[in-house]
Structure 1
């Protein structure tokens, strides 16, 4: 495979969920179902606040992904019902999680053509968080797997994690670019590691992934969609 031998960037990392394919919308659908199931015990805004608090509290134990989300819903259901949550509600929450884990992949616009185009001239990586088996399933179903030179499924995205990944797979973070829909996970830490961070907003963003954009940093870019990425890289 021909590689870009000149220019500032030789390695490009892609986030997966809500960058290459839809993901957050299924969490929102399940969260609505959760609120309906517990409507007799708490108002929706209160439930959402309690669930978000549980998710934040449990990240260190469960990590990111569907399984941790389901466990946080069950924990919240127990709390808001004072240990009186019906077994059928627990069963339906587990079934909702199982539905999420088996949902077909739906690629976002420009995902396939953009990865294909860049893979011809750059080293391309998939760098994602979440459940190992779930992310492997989604990658296999996406049809994009053969395009990536490396796949990294990590427990969290930090400057050190990015530095280590780009040292293993390329010439280091200084010659790397990461693109994704999360400022907190895909953009800010890679810039702190010395790389380029490209933000492609998605209509739905989990509250715990939100952050202020580093607009004054010269290595930050924001694009309307993935279709703009090849041109943006050429212009660096």
Structure 2
């Protein structure tokens, strides 16, 4: 317990920490590959779509809408601009289906938030499309547990530093919980805050980090949010 004794505020990531998200992107990619199967192999389509997403990140940011635009652009380029209008419509519908997905909470989420909110100030720090994240939060029924909700354009040291300053939180009194080492753990460690990694079974390639990047960084990894209750007891 000693390393967490000074914690006053706990931050939670949303997608794939509180509820299922990445699974829907993988399913969408499979559907997209089938739609374009006459132009390229699934592997090549996957690679080109990923490259397109990364190239568009600075313009569109994260989230389903950015993903839809990258799919449309990839479809045009992979088909040498011969993709039928109906296929474009089907791609747009893939995105609409994603935006209409139910919010499936991960194991133990509400129980953990309910108990921790009695002792700590909880904040939600997520990235993605503002409208989509607000919609998911509303559907989740978890809003009341959070003292503050922030949808960030990205999750780098700068973004977290600005958030902590804005909320007048000392880095040493802050603990971040999330499924991404790149977005939820390493930036906080570098700011002298605390972080706990809760891996999700599927991780977007852009969020993966090398062993070199995690080497010497001090953080804990737990299998389920329920383990938080023991760590903070």
TM superposition score category, shorter chain reference: over 0.9
In the alignment, which residue of structure 1 is the partner of 2:31?
Answer: 33
> Structure 2: where are the runs of 5+ without partners?
none
Which of 68, 71, 78 aligns to 2:69? It is 71
Residue pair 2:122, 2:148 contacting (<8 A) in 1 also: yes
TM-superposed deviation, 1:75? 0.7
TM-superposed deviation, 1:217? 2.4
In the alignment, which residue of structure 2 is the partner of 1:217?
Answer: 217
Distance 1:165 1:123 in 2: 14
Distance 2:139 2:56 in 1: 29
In the alignment, which residue of structure 1 is the partner of 2:142?
Answer: 144
Superposed CA offset, 1:109-137 (max 9, x none): 01111111111101100000011000000
Distance 1:221 1:170, change over 3 A: farther
Distance 1:82 1:217 in 2: 46
Distance 1:168 1:9 in 2: 18
In the alignment, which residue of structure 2 is the partner of 1:89?
Answer: 87
**TM superposition score normalised by structure 1:** 0.93
Superposed CA offset, 1:127-182 (max 9, x none): 00011000000001101000000000010001121122123335322210111011
Within a 5 Å distance, the mapping from 1:1-236 to structure 2 comes to 7-212=5-210, 214=214, 216-218=216-218, 220-234=219-233
Calculate the aligned-residue CA RMSD, in Å: 1.3
Residue pair 1:11, 1:170 contacting (<8 A) in 2 also: no
Q: 2:11 is paired with a residue of what secondary structure?
A: strand
> Structure 1: where are the runs of 5+ without partners?
1-5
Distance 1:116 1:215, change over 3 A: farther
Residue pair 1:15, 1:180 contacting (<8 A) in 2 also: yes
Distance 1:99 1:168 in 2: 36
**TM superposition score normalised by structure 2:** 0.94
Distance 1:226 1:170 in 2: 26
Further displaced range: 209-218 or 68-77: 209-218
Distance 1:90 1:80 in 2: 13
Distance 2:113 2:171 in 1: 20
Distance 1:64 1:167 in 2: 24
In the alignment, which residue of structure 2 is the partner of 1:3?
Answer: none
Distance 2:147 2:174 in 1: 14
TM-superposed deviation, 1:215? 5.2
